[in-house]
Every structure is written in C-alpha cells, then in structure tokens.
Amino acid sequence: MHRGVRQGSKEGPAIFNLVFQSILKHTIDKTLKRITLKDQHNRNWTIKHLEYADDLCLITNTTEEATKALNHLQKYLTNIGMEISISKTKVMIINKKDNIAAVKIDNKEIEEVETFHYLGSTINNKGTPDSAIAHNIEKAKSAVIKIRPILKCKELSLGTKIKLVDSSIIPILTYGLESIVLRKQDWTRIETVLNTIRRMILGINDRKRLNVQQLKLKVNLPNLANKIMQNRLNLWYTAHKRPNNLMVRSLNSEFDNPCNNRKAY
C-alpha cells in the first residue's frame, strides 16, 4: 500500500473501527476480568471497558489486573507496528489504599491522576461532583470575561443581555449536571456566578447596594434548576426510547464498594 485513505473520507472511520475492535478482541477481551453490576431488577451484568471514538477506558479491580491487560495490549500492538502512548495514558484509583503497586507498561510507570476530563466532564477519584462543578464554573467565568464588554454596554437592552447569557453562559455552567445530584453548597457556588453576572449587567461593584433577592428581581436570568431538570428529562427520554440501551442499564445499576461497603451508582 503506497497511499492511505483521503482525509475526511468514509473509509477512514470504518477501517479504524475494524482495527480497533480487532485489537480489543485479541487483547482486552481475553485478559481483563469483568466488573459485575446489578440493575434495578436485581439482575447482574458485567462490563470491563468503555469506548468512545478513539478513547479507551479500562475498568479493573486491582492495579495488577490493569498492568497485565495494558502490557498484553502493548505486546499485541508492537507486533502490528503500533504502540501505546505512555504520555497520554493515565490511571485513576478510586478510594485508594496505602501500598498499592503502580501501573506500568514495559516497566515504565503510568502517571496517576486525581481527576481527568472526559467528553467535557471532569471525574475525580473520590466519586464526588466537586471537580465537575468547579470545572464548569471556571469555564463559565472565562466565557463571562469574553462577553463582559457586551454585558456592560449601556446601549443594549436588558433582554438582549439576558438572552446572550442564556445562550452562551448557562449551557457551560450546567453542562453534564443532569447526571449529578447537586447539594446545597453546589447550588450556592453556581448562584454566585449568576449574581456576579447580574451585578456586571447592572454596573454594580458594591455588593452592599443590592442583596441577592433584589438582584434577581432586577435581572431575571433563567432558572437553573428548571434548565437542569429539562436536560435530565431529555437524557432519560432519549435513553428510554431503547429499553435495552447501555445508558439505561448504567444509570439504573449499582455495584458494591469494597472499601466502605456502600452501594455506588
């Protein structure tokens, strides 16, 4: 073969999927033990890895299992002229205990991280929503800075500014929150961002001039609770159109946490 497929052609993704699935079939599917989950009907089902496009997430019970699976994968890839990128591979240990062996590929230690970003969401090693919410808030603040001159412009109407916030800031602030149970302190952090936007629109720098209720009356931004609930309903409706959808089973399943004997969803 002297020439590959054209950039953007239909053949490219098709060939990639065939090769990717063949690699998994000959490596991960043979070496990795499955994680058992239990759905809402008390039926067991198993999972060992997650795939999205060219991303692969391995799920193991121990670091030894992860090391074995990755090295088996690396050996297979070497035989076909490919290799795992050590710098792009990360490991995250949930509820880590002391004296856990590091995950290695060809005796090269894989970097352990406390959080990682996946499809726009942030996941941490504690299983809490703190990292995801903090990530959304930081991105929303950056977006607010970009449109600050528009929000402060006195020639634009209040309605125009509210529509701008609704279309460019609210989606960033609420991204991925439909799958998270928000606590009171989480709502407080999110509302703080909205109040900052309200003061920016009104041109108020002194927090003592108007309290939160007065700010909400003057600048009636979209209700975030309603937005998140709407996204949550859309998620469930889309998933439940296909009863055997993997997303539905995942959302309704649990597994026992061996560290503290609590059920995790």
Tokens of 73: 């994968």
Residue 163 confidence (pLDDT): 94
Q: Provide the CA 195 distance to its chain's centre, in angstroms.
A: 26
Residue 153 confidence (pLDDT): 92
Domain ranges of the chain: 12-113, 130-240
Residue 214 confidence (pLDDT): 87
Q: Print pLDDT tens along the chain (265 aa).
A: 566 777 777 888 888 888 888 888 888 777 777 777 766 667 777 777 877 777 888 888 888 888 888 898 888 888 888 888 888 888 988 777 766 778 888 888 888 888 888 777 788 888 788 888 999 999 999 999 999 999 999 899 999 999 999 999 999 999 988 888 888 888 899 999 999 999 999 988 776 678 888 888 888 898 888 888 888 888 777 766 766 666 666 655 555 444 444 443 3
Angle between helices 184-202 and 224-240 (to 10 degrees): 120
Q: Cα separation of 106 and 84, whole Å?
A: 10
Q: What is the DSSP string of 216-262?
A: HHHS----HHHHHHHHHHHHHHHHHTSTT-HHHHHHT-BEE-TTT--
Pseudo-torsion of CA 89, 95, 97, 101, nearest 10°?
-20
Residue 142 confidence (pLDDT): 95
Q: Cα separation of 26 and 186, whole Å?
A: 44
Residue 162 confidence (pLDDT): 93
Q: Cα separation of 104 and 72, whole Å?
A: 12
| Contacts of 201 by beta carbon, 8 Å cutoff, 6+ apart | 151, 152, 158, 161, 162, 219
Residue 194 confidence (pLDDT): 92
Q: What is the DSSP string of 84-150?
A: --TTT-EE--TTPPTTPPPPEETTEEPEE-SEEEETTEEEETT--SHHHHHHHHHHHHHHHHHHHHH
Angle between helices 11-26 and 63-79 (to 10 degrees): 120
pLDDT digits 0-9 by tens, 156-180? 999 999 999 999 999 999 998 888 8
Instruction: Specify the DSSP class assigned to residue 43.
Output: -
